[in-house]
Amino acid sequence: MTAVSGQLALALEVRRARGRADFIVAPCNAAAVAWIDRWPDWPSHALALYGPAGAGKSHLAQVYSEKSGAEPIPAAALGGLGPARLRSVARAAVIDPLEADDGWDEQALLHLINLARESRGSVLLVGRSAPGRLARMPDLSSRLSALPAARLGEADDALLAALLAKHFADRQLRVAEDVVRFLLARMERSFGSALELVERLDRLALAEQRAVTVPLARRALAALETSDGARY
């Protein structure tokens, strides 16, 4: 699984997931993957996945949805669900995103979690922070804090290199190791950024009928400059 020449180590497991996409298992996400693999043998009726943007939370939530038939629901929409609808989705649901600033209905989430427990359903809560820190209602905060939780860490160099190699290989692009190392030192460290960079490099290489080189990579990075202080 590599279109990258040289000796760059890419010995990571590749997990098939939603359609053509792959989820690459690495130390920063292995615990979360193990929890999703373990379903439906969870010790609780709900599980929390949390971590920084771009770490793969929603990707794993999609894997869980495919396994369980869960319905994705933004936390902000919970308050608009009536009792019958909440009872229906409590059999299997993904609450994504669950964030502190979304104005979601805490009573509705507490009711959903209680219904999932009563019906032996399962609910996956997805957000940037551990959910126990988000609730103001003591009962809900206590309930959320007691749930099993798995944190996805920031993507490390090994994972990002594997992601880049996979995306290059998908497009049948042969890319030298120095290009990958150049990108790793400067790119935003997320799943989405890896895909966006490769897509832009593919378009540039095709339009100019040239190989993917460091100068081309520098131009692609400059075009994708963000406000987070990335170095180009």
Residue 67 one-letter amino acid: K
**Residues of 96-122 as b/e, b for ≥16 C-beta within 10 angstroms?**
bbbbeeeebbbebbbbbbebbbeeebb
Is 29-151 a CATH 3.40.50.300 domain?
Answer: yes
Rg (CA), the chain: 20
pLDDT of residue 102: 78
- Collapsing DSSP states into helix, strand and coil, what is residue 107? helix
Query: What tens digit of pLDDT does each residue of 68-93 get?
Result: 999 999 999 999 999 999 999 999 99
CA atoms within 13 A on the CB side of 53: 4
For the domain with range 154-223, which CATH number is right: 3.40.50.300, 1.10.8.60, 1.10.645.10, 3.90.1150.150? 1.10.8.60
- DSSP code, position 7: S
- pLDDT of residue 96 exceeding 70, the answer is yes
Provide DSSP, 147-181: S-EEE-----HHHHHHHHHHHHHHTT--B-HHHHH
* Extents of the domains making up the chain: 29-151, 154-223
- pLDDT bucket at 15, cuts 50 / 70 / 90: low
Q: What tokens appear for 217 in the block?
A: 């990579």
Span 133-178, pLDDT tens digits: 899 999 999 999 999 999 999 888 988 999 899 889 888 899 999 9
